[in-house]
């Protein structure tokens, strides 16, 4: 089909589906088709989203369409696209409309809008999930293959589960938020809804990247998909820590998902979930409620009845937060972040239920705040801890309610989560969306370009560590995490700033396996990187556990005299976490 035919079909599907609560504003169909026809003059191969119809949550600016945030009294008419939308257009996407949401992106249920409640695409009596309700339903109902949401406390993940689709919540600052109406500006992310993980990564590769116009943009790389890693370790909560609010079917679905991970070769490692629960409580019991208030306090003062009653009740609580309360919460958050860092020292990602259960619209309208809060049990802490997340379908329960899991990892590991999540989703063989469409065959991951050089890093250059930016600034690509052969000793070097380890080769089999990350660099970037390595470190050839060889960091033997042997930790993250 041509792009114009695809766009025409999209509008016909919207008419046939006949749910006026999904979209707040639809773009003029003739205008959208004309834009699609103009793509014929462009090189399709150079446009990764050539002719793809996209819908955008109505708290994200699209030039020519009003931004309402589901509050007519607040509406304004932007003259330029949000940065994320502009990047979609530049990649060939066609914007077809603005989708409904929980007003001012406050809610996880999708029922707090004067524009109606979108019907869940899987089971009509269920809530659609929020706040990105219209965006999730538009994908789940087969109206468009890609939509944008936002995610502050789970709004890009909970509705993904409830509509049996993929929800990608990127690392903070990876997709610019310029042109996005804030909920909590320090925590907001533009999120992505698609049918598959690969589609979500295509969209992320288009929108991700630094934006000098956005003060919250960060210099983070999207990364590339890799093969499913050997020795994958996934964190699961300790026995008795999970909460399902009496939903035995969700509890069983989660247990089955863990068995699937094990069958794929993952090792499950228990961790303490309580600090994460504590962080979640900070979001709505702490000063971030006041941050939500900032956006609409003038409207609340001049026309309080224009704000949804539940939204009004939640945000007005921000008036009770003092400056002292704010600093106390920030101090505690910093302490809990250290605990979270230590948790990830020995694992690749956490695997949690996306939500503990599901509720009908009738149930939520009768108990709007408590049930909404329950849906955020496993999502509210994520942005406060600067984690990235990927929500993927895991099962279709016997009662027709979809169940999903979410992978979580430190910021910057988006491609890593996608690389493992895509394999899990494919292995479920679940039909996608509310239309029960068969999953496409999982495409093989392209091998790293032959004109790159792989290098193994062991210390301060690991993802999230102090010097990882040096790899990112050279456009380095994360390839995989693995371990060396047991031919090395590992030392904490003295007097290095930032702290650095040294990897010393010893007799074959007389050392320990040490965790390394393998990155790829162009030859020019590799030369630049190596030229900046200070003595006593150097680049040599490392032997990995699978017998392969790769360039990597080694240390001069003289520098290890008197240095602490930390080989027993098995890696730098574990040592640094214990040191804290």
CATH of the domain at 557: 3.10.490.10
> How far apart, in whole angstroms, are the C-alpha atoms of residue 115 and residue 497?
56
- CA-nearest of 521, 552, 533 to 453 is 521
Same domain for 465 and 404: no
Same domain for 414 and 503: no
The pLDDT of residue 146 is: 98
From 83, 113, 131, 132, active-site residue:
131
Yes or no: say if 431 and 438 are a contact pair by the CB < 8 Å rule. yes
Would you write out the chain's pLDDT as a tens digit for each of its 580 residues?
899 999 999 999 999 999 999 999 999 999 999 999 999 889 998 999 999 999 999 999 999 999 999 999 999 999 999 999 999 999 999 999 999 999 999 999 999 999 999 999 999 999 999 999 999 999 999 999 999 999 999 999 999 999 999 999 999 999 999 999 998 899 999 999 999 999 999 999 999 999 988 999 998 889 889 999 889 999 999 999 999 999 999 999 999 999 999 999 999 999 999 999 999 888 877 787 777 787 888 888 888 888 888 888 888 777 888 888 888 888 898 998 999 989 998 899 999 999 999 999 999 999 999 999 999 999 999 999 999 999 999 999 999 999 999 999 999 999 999 999 999 999 999 999 999 999 999 988 876 666 889 999 999 999 888 899 899 889 898 888 899 999 999 999 998 999 999 999 999 999 999 999 999 999 989 999 998 898 899 999 999 988 889 999 999 999 999 999 999 999 999 999 888 7
- CA-nearest of 244, 275, 272, 145 to 199 is 145
Largest Cα separation within the chain, whole Å, is: 76
Sequence-distant (≥ 6) Cβ neighbours of residue 422 within 8 angstroms: 196, 197, 198, 225, 442
Residue 446 lies in a domain: no
> How far apart, in whole angstroms, are the C-alpha atoms of residue 413 and residue 411?
6
> How far apart, in whole angstroms, are the C-alpha atoms of residue 296 and residue 322?
18
The domain boundary residue, chosen from 411, 428, 445: 428
> How far apart, in whole angstroms, are the C-alpha atoms of residue 427 and residue 126?
26
Structural domain of residue 112, as residue ranges? 3-231+346-428
The pLDDT of residue 316 is: 79
Task: Let me know how many helices (H) and strands (E) the chain has, helices first.
Answer: 17, 19
The pLDDT of residue 317 is: 78
Residue 319 lies in a domain: no
- CA-nearest of 134, 385, 425, 388 to 282 is 385
Same domain for 17 and 146: yes
* 252 annotated active-site: no
- CA-nearest of 74, 78, 53, 50 to 64 is 78
Same domain for 157 and 58: yes
The pLDDT of residue 572 is: 94
Same domain for 422 and 470: no
532-541 burial code (b ≥16 CB/10 A, e <16): eeeebbeeee
Residue 549 lies in a domain: yes
Domain total in the chain: 2
The pLDDT of residue 293 is: 80
- CA-nearest of 13, 391, 25, 14 to 195 is 391
CB-based burial label for 29 (10 Å; 0-12, 13-18, 19+): middle
Residue 568 lies in a domain: yes
Which CA distances in Å does 322 have to 294, 312, 315, 318, 381?
14, 19, 15, 9, 22
Same domain for 367 and 423: yes
The pLDDT of residue 448 is: 60
> How far apart, in whole angstroms, are the C-alpha atoms of residue 451 and residue 200?
27
Beta strands in 20-115 (DSSP E): 23-26, 53-57, 94-99
Same domain for 78 and 190: yes
Q: Which helix (H) or strand (E) holds 555?
A: strand 549-555
Partners of 248 in the β-ladder? none
* 131 annotated active-site: yes
- pTM metric for this prediction: 0.78
Same domain for 169 and 51: yes
Partners of 453 in the β-ladder? 521
Same domain for 479 and 416: no
Residue 206 lies in a domain: yes
Q: Determine the Cα angle at 159 with ends 295 and 84, to 5°.
A: 55
Handedness of CA 301, 305, 307, 308 (dihedral sign): positive
Same domain for 491 and 362: no
* 155 annotated active-site: yes
From 113, 121, 135, 155, active-site residue:
155
Yes or no: say if 440 and 551 are a contact pair by the CB < 8 Å rule. no
- CA-nearest of 355, 372, 356, 421 to 168 is 421
Residue 134 lies in a domain: yes
Same domain for 64 and 190: yes
Same domain for 497 and 390: no
Dihedral-angle region of residue 182 (phi above 0 means left; psi in -120 to 50 means alpha; beta otherwise): beta
Residue 308 lies in a domain: no
Residue 327 lies in a domain: no
Partners of 166 in the β-ladder? 194
For 311, phi then psi, to 5°, come to -60, -40
């Amino acid at each position: 089909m041509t792009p114009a035919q695809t766009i025409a079909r999209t509008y016909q599907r919207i008419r046939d589906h006949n749910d006026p609560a999904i979209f707040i504003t639809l773009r003029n169909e003739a205008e959208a088709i004309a834009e699609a026809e103009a793509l014929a003059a462009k090189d399709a191969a150079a446009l990764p989203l050539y002719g793809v119809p996209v819908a955008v949550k109505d708290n994200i600016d699209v030039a020519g369409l009003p931004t309402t945030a589901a509050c007519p009294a607040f509406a304004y008419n932007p003259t330029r696209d949000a940065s994320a939308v502009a990047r979609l257009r530049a990649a060939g996407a066609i914007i077809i409309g603005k989708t409904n949401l929980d007003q001012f992106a406050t809610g996880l249920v999708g029922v707090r809008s004067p524009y109606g409640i979108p019907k869940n695409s899987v089971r009509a009596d269920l809530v659609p999930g929020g706040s990105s309700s219209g965006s999730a339903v538009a994908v789940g109902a087969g109206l468009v293959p890609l939509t944008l949401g936002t995610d502050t406390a789970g709004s890009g993940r909970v509705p993904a589960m409830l509509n049996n689709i993929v929800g990608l919540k990127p690392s903070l600052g990876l997709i610019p938020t310029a042109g996005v109406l804030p909920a909590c500006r320090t925590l907001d992310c533009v999120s992505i809804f698609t049918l598959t993980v690969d589609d979500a990564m295509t969209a992320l590769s288009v929108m991700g990247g630094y934006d000098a116009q956005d003060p919250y943009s960060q210099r983070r790389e999207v990364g590339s998909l890799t093969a499913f890693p050997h020795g994958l370790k996934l964190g699961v909560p300790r026995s008795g820590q999970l909460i399902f609010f009496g939903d035995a079917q969700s509890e069983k679905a989660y247990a089955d998902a863990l068995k699937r991970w094990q069958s794929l070769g993952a090792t499950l490692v228990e961790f303490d979930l309580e600090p994460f629960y504590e962080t979640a409580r900070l979001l709505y019991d702490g000063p971030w409620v006041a941050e939500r208030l900032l956006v609409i306090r003038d409207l609340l003062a001049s026309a309080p009845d224009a704000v949804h009653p539940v939204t009004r009740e939640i945000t007005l609580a921000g008036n009770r937060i003092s400056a002292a309360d704010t600093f106390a919460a920030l101090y505690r958050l910093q302490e809990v972040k250290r605990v979270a860092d230590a948790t990830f020292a020995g694992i690749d990602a956490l695997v949690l239920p996306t939500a503990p259960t599901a509720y009908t619209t009738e149930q939520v309208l009768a108990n709007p705040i408590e049930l909404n809060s329950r849906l955020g049990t496993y999502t509210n802490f994520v942005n406060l801890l600067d984690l990235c997340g990927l929500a993927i379908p895991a099962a279709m329960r016997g009662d027709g309610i979809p169940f999903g899991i979410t992978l979580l990892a430190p910021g910057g590991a988006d491609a890593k989560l996608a690389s493992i999540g895509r394999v899990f989703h494919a292995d479920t063989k679940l039909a996608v969306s509310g239309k029960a469409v068969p999953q496409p065959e999982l495409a093989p991951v392209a091998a790293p370009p032959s004109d790159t050089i792989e290098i193994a890093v062991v210390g301060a250059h690991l993802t999230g560590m102090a010097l990882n930016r040096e790899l990112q600034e050279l456009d380095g690509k994360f390839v995989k995490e693995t371990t060396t052969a047991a031919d090395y000793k590992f030392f904490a070097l003295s007097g290095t700033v930032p702290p650095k380890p040294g990897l010393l080769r010893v007799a074959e089999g007389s050392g320990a396996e040490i965790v390394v990350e393998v990155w790829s660099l162009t030859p020019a970037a590799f030369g630049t990187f190596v030229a900046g390595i200070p003595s006593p470190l150097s680049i040599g050839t490392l032997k990995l556990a699978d017998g392969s060889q790769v360039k990597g960091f080694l240390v001069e033997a003289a520098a290890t005299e008197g240095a602490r042997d930390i080989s027993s930790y098995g890696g730098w993250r574990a040592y640094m976490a214990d040191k804290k």
